[in-house]
């Protein structure tokens, strides 16, 4: 079984086929998610909250991501694997290069993900120049939660929406190969998706993006307390976790998820 490649994921966008992505943190779930047909596994710093029980993603370090990424790689054969770069591990282009290289060499990641706007263009350009695929992340930035104050919809006014759009264009030009767009209006998600040649993955950015991603524990209903509006519990009325993930993949591929109820 051959792994999905970045050119193949870009081809899915060109063909209009949706990309199904979920977070993953261990080998057992990686095996199951592949069986269900998930295209991309994101080793997210969300592990700080759903695995470690932290208040936010801030406490996650590079060793945590490397450890969990290695486990996901061991459990997978087909999926493309993205690893989050934790808080302040990419403050400068050289620091980003060093830590991204570790995630790929030691963790086995195929791509790294960075949160932030146009200020990262030099960093993304340097990583891309050295052959490191980069997934940008715009909209709601969980690593900035103490600055934001709460997890809320971004780009609600025209000025901030335009800024997110301009950042997306800038980061693609800098060399980003993919973009995750979190917690913005479906209108803005559609506009950015149509403007970019790279795949745009929605995390609460509406149904018109090139793919969807959810936190695994959220979509299985494991997470306690309030989950984001864009989440949906796919475990409800399903016989198993595997069936639930298959249902998620089917809903994404057939443009049934998200509905208006999970969009802004």
- How far is C-alpha 101 from the chain's CA centre? 19
Q: Is 45 annotated to bind ligand?
A: yes
φ, ψ at 155 (rounded to 5°) = 70, 30
**Distance from C-alpha of 37 to C-alpha of 79, rounded to nearest angstrom:** 9
**Distance from C-alpha of 95 to C-alpha of 263, rounded to nearest angstrom:** 36
Pull the structure tokens for residue 153: 């919809």
How many CB atoms neighbour CB 61 within 10 A? 15
Q: 164 near 139, Cβ under 8 Å?
A: yes
Q: Is 113 annotated to bind ligand?
A: yes
**Distance from C-alpha of 144 to C-alpha of 93, rounded to nearest angstrom:** 19
Beta strands 200-203; 19-23: pairing state:
unpaired
3-class secondary-structure state, position 230: coil
**Element spanning 202, H or E:** strand 200-203
Q: Count of alpha carbons within 13 Å of 39, Cβ hemisphere only?
A: 24
Residues 6+ apart with CB under 8 A from 89: 61, 62, 95, 96, 99
182 annotated active-site: yes
Active-site residue (options: 17, 106, 182, 197): 182
Q: Is 84 annotated to bind ligand?
A: yes
Q: Which residue ranges make up the annotated binding site for 3-methyl-2-oxobutanoate?
A: 45-46, 84, 113
* Known binding positions for Mg(2+): 45, 84, 115
Residues that constitute the known binding site: 45-46, 84, 113, 115
Catalytic residues: 182
């Amino acid at each position: 079984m051959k792994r999905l490649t970045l050119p193949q994921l870009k081809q899915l966008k060109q063909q209009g086929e949706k990309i199904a992505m979920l977070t993953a943190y261990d080998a057992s779930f990686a095996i199951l998610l592949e069986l269900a047909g998930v295209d991309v596994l994101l080793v997210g710093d969300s592990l700080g909250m759903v695995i470690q029980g932290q208040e936010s993603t801030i406490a996650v370090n590079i060793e945590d991501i490397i450890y969990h990424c290695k486990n996901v790689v061991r459990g997978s054969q087909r999926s493309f694997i993205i690893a989050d770069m934790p808080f302040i591990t990419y403050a400068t282009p050289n620091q980003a290069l060093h830590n991204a290289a570790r995630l790929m060499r030691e963790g086995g990641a195929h791509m790294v993900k960075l949160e932030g706007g146009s200020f990262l263009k030099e960093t993304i350009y340097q990583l891309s120049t050295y052959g490191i695929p980069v997934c940008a992340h715009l909209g709601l930035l969980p690593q900035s939660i103490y600055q934001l104050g709460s997890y809320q919809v971004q780009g609600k006014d025209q000025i901030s929406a335009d800024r997110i759009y301009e950042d997306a264009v800038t980061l693609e030009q800098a060399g980003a190969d993919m973009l995750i767009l979190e917690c913005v209006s479906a209108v803005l998600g559609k506009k950015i998706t149509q403007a970019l040649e790279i795949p745009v993955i929605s995390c609460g950015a509406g149904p018109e993006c090139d793919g969807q991603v959810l936190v695994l524990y959220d979509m299985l209903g494991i997470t306690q307390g309030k989950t984001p509006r864009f989440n949906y519990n796919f475990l409800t009325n399903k016989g198993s976790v595997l069936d639930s993930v298959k249902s998620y993949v089917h809903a994404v591929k057939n443009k049934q998820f998200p509905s208006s109820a999970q969009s802004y």
